Chains A and B, each alone.
Chain A
Amino acid sequence: MLTLASVSYRYAGATRPSLRDVTLELADGEVLGVVGASEAGKSTLCLVASGLAPRTIGGTLVGRVLLDGEDTAGRPMHAVATEVAIGFQNPGTQLSGVATTVYEEVAFGPMNLGVPRPEVLRRTETALDALAIGELASRDPDRLSGGQQQLVAIAGLLALAPRHLVLDEPTAQLDPAGTRLVSVAIGRLAAAGTSILLAEQKTDLLAAVCGRVVALADGGIVMEGAAGTLLADPRLAELGVAPPSAVRLEHAARSVSAAAAASVARSIGAVGE
């Protein structure tokens, strides 16, 4: 279980905090969605949850980040990485840049951790299978589509055998085909019981895979609830978040039928006169 207890975080050099008093719990096997407009603090939340902030990028953290109730403050990044893995938007910058094949790319994490070779091979193959990209194993990662690269990046995270996966808008820079590819893969991971913290603008993806969703605004949690209820909440649009297409369709259908009823009423009225 990953817990953020009253966490505030301010980037190095920033005058005001980007995350304000956030308390959050990601249970094992849970898929938790995070919505919010740009600059609402989604990425910052991901960086803090993964341990990169403040370990790698500096800044000031107040509050505690706990793994199974234990404070992570003293642990170095490579020790946190095996518990919480994080993926980013840009598929290109997440690849190691030193692997000539997808297989090596996926194996990069466990190789860094000094995991024994047979275990590296087992994890790499399991990760490739989990994302159904076994057939890409011998390809050059630089020569893949954005969506495929993102799958390879996520497989590289799975190979770390993390307990929790943090994904910061994994489909933001992908075309519709790539988005579908990654969404299906995340759905499969979610169904397999991986615990995932998923920040996304694309609420359709959240509606499909999340059990619970929190909404951020100005660095703080403003709404929290079951995915179905929260994503249908009309206040979401006020936060600058587009509701899932199913919800929009329902709204559209309602307004169309209301308009139709009104026009019927008018014509009945006209006949009456």
Chain B
Amino acid sequence: MGGIWGPLALALVAIVLPAAAARVLRRLGRTSLLLSLPIAISLLVNLFFFPGGHQVLLRLGPVTATAEGLAFALEILVRIMAIAGAITLFYLTTRPHDFVVDLERRGISPRAAFVANASVQTVPAMVERAGQITAAQRARGLDTEGSVWRRARGILPLVGPVILGSIAEVEERTMALEARGFTRPGRRTLLWSPPDSGRERLARWALVVALLVVVVARLAGWTA
């Protein structure tokens, strides 16, 4: 059952080729490396603990690697890579701000758009703030380097200023937003929308059709 060639072919067509066309293939590869640890764990677990494998490849004390386990592990691997690759490709090629503006243009509520947009922009701001606070605390002698345990302890003094500081700002931010008409019901005026060429629209529809074909083929029992 299952197989790795289908997902692999799909990943090539839907991820690798577009990534190459968008010139982000190298960055896509580098980002995917971040997944190596979870992938390695999943490979090992599936390889050794796949239930009901018969073809023994290797014995390590009480555990056994089977050919069935290996096939299953590879199948899971290509699936994870395909999903992660698709998401990474999206983030490498789409400015989150453009995405949210387009969502709002297509009708999601201004509040939902604000939340999405603000979280996208708040994360870098909080990272920067955490960096500043770490630097300030190091300047006053806090040890944030060295062993893992030490660094873990070094995070604690950050929690107060970064998290509580952000929460304390909430009231000010709320007031500033309300004072700028944010709570007015109804649609907002949008200044611009991301460019959307005829070819892009065509490609999107082609992808939807391809998705339907794949789903139907799968339901019809055709596997690869």
Judged by DSSP, the binding face of B is helix
Tell yes or no: B182 within 8 A of A by CB: yes
B191 touches A94 (CB 8 A): no
Judged by DSSP, the binding face of A is helix
CA distance A88 to B186 in the complex (A): 27
Tell yes or no: B196 within 8 A of A by CB: no
B169: min CB distance to chain A, Å: 5
Interface stretch of the complex, out of B26-34, B51-59, B78-86, B171-179: B171-179
B172 touches A112 (CB 8 A): no
Tell yes or no: B207 within 8 A of A by CB: no
B173 touches A93 (CB 8 A): yes
B175 touches A111 (CB 8 A): no
B181 touches A93 (CB 8 A): no
B152 contacts across to A, CB distance below 8 A? none
Tell yes or no: B122 within 8 A of A by CB: yes
B118 contacts across to A, CB distance below 8 A? 97-98
Given contacts A93-B172, A98-B118, contact A111 B188 (CB under 8 A): yes
A28 contacts across to B, CB distance below 8 A? none
A96 touches B180 (CB 8 A): yes
Tell yes or no: B189 within 8 A of A by CB: yes
A47 contacts across to B, CB distance below 8 A? 175
CA distance A50 to B175 in the complex (A): 10
Tell yes or no: B90 within 8 A of A by CB: no
Name A81's contact: one of B122, B172, B181, B188 (CB within 8 Å): B181
B189 touches A160 (CB 8 A): no
Tell yes or no: B117 within 8 A of A by CB: yes
Where the two chains meet, the residues of A that have a C-beta atom closer than 8 Å to any C-beta of B are 47, 50, 52, 55-57, 76-78, 81-82, 85-86, 88, 90, 92-98, 100, 104, 107-117, 120-121, 142, 153, 156-157, 160
